[in-house]
Amino acid sequence: MAFTGFPRPFGSSDPGVQALSRFGYDRQTGLTANPLTLANPPVEGSLMLFKNGILMDDTGGYTVSGQTVTLTTVPIAADVYQGYYHYRQAV
């Protein structure tokens, strides 16, 4: 069987992402206002955002623009937000 390459990152249809992406993780707590700010801008469609361990719906629970994640509801200080995503490595 011949090697055909590595699979693309989830949620991405861009073949260039395979060689240029890194995996990011951000954890934020104690927030009482929007927005959340990620360390890096995620590749479109790659962000998985969890609120208190439960995966949030990306079709209505939040929006992403660059490194900024705007929630549809105001966070409570006790909430824990964790984001996992791919981002492009600067070359």
pLDDT digits (tens, 9 = 90+) for 31-90: 888 899 999 999 999 999 999 999 998 888 999 999 999 999 989 999 999 999 999 876
Place of tokens 């984001």: 83
Who has greater pLDDT, 1 or 35? 35
User: Any bridge partners for residue 68, and if so which?
Assistant: 37, 65
- Tell me, what DSSP letter sits at residue 79? -
Predicted pLDDT at 42? 93
Closest CA to 81 of 40, 45, 47, 49: 49
* Mean pLDDT calculated for residue range 11-18: 54
Who has greater pLDDT, 74 or 91? 74
CA-to-CA distance for 60 and 56, rounded, in angstroms? 9
Closest CA to 79 of 59, 51, 54: 51
